[in-house]
Amino acid sequence: MGKVSEMGHREGIAWRNVPVEEVLDGVTRRRHSGETFTIVRYTYQPGSVFPVHAHPEEQLTIVHSGAIEFQVDGQPVRLEAGMFAVIPGGIPHGARVIGDEAVISDNYIASGERTDLQWSQES
């Protein structure tokens, strides 16, 4: 999906119209970048794991369904539907689904040019 400036400011964007990418086994995402942000909608299937990684940007994660446990700088952070967490830039973090419900979350990153993930050797 293009940048906001390419689409105009008067159009709404439906998540269903944003292409799905398979990131890992059991993890898909839809993402859109604007001039100064990236938003990513992740869907995690039960049992899925997102390995520890880091990026220089601060990340705001909002959970819409299910329960997920993040490891943030080695510390557990449990999030359930209706909760959010802020992960500082440069801090190693990963996640795993808790329970048998799929997790849908949105990640907001204040950078239009999102850098690649830097996977931890511990994963």
Residue appearing with tokens 């940007």 = 57
**Overall average pLDDT of the 71-93 stretch:** 97
Q: Residue 92: its pLDDT value, please?
A: 97
How is residue 16 annotated by DSSP?
A: G
CA distance 97 to 17: 26
Question: In which band, very low, low, confident or very high, does the pLDDT at 113 lie, cut at 50, 70 and 90?
Answer: low
Q: Mean pLDDT score of the chain, rounded to an integer?
A: 88
Say if residues 67 and 25 touch (Cβ distance below 8 Å).
no
Question: In which band, very low, low, confident or very high, does the pLDDT at 110 lie, cut at 50, 70 and 90?
Answer: confident
Q: Which residue has the higher pLDDT, 120 or 80?
A: 80
Q: Residue 5: its pLDDT value, please?
A: 46
Residue 101, pLDDT above cutoff 60 = yes
Is the full-model pTM beyond 0.75? Answer: yes
Sheet strand arrangement including 21-24: 21-24, 27-33, 38-44, 103-109, 59-65, 84-87
Residue among 100, 107, 103 at smallest CA distance from 85: 107
In order of their start, the domains of the chain are 4-113 (2.60.120.10)
Q: Residue 4: its pLDDT value, please?
A: 47
Q: Residue 36: its pLDDT value, please?
A: 85
pLDDT digits (tens, 9 = 90+) for 17-47: 999 999 999 999 999 988 888 999 999 999 9
Q: Residue 11: its pLDDT value, please?
A: 76
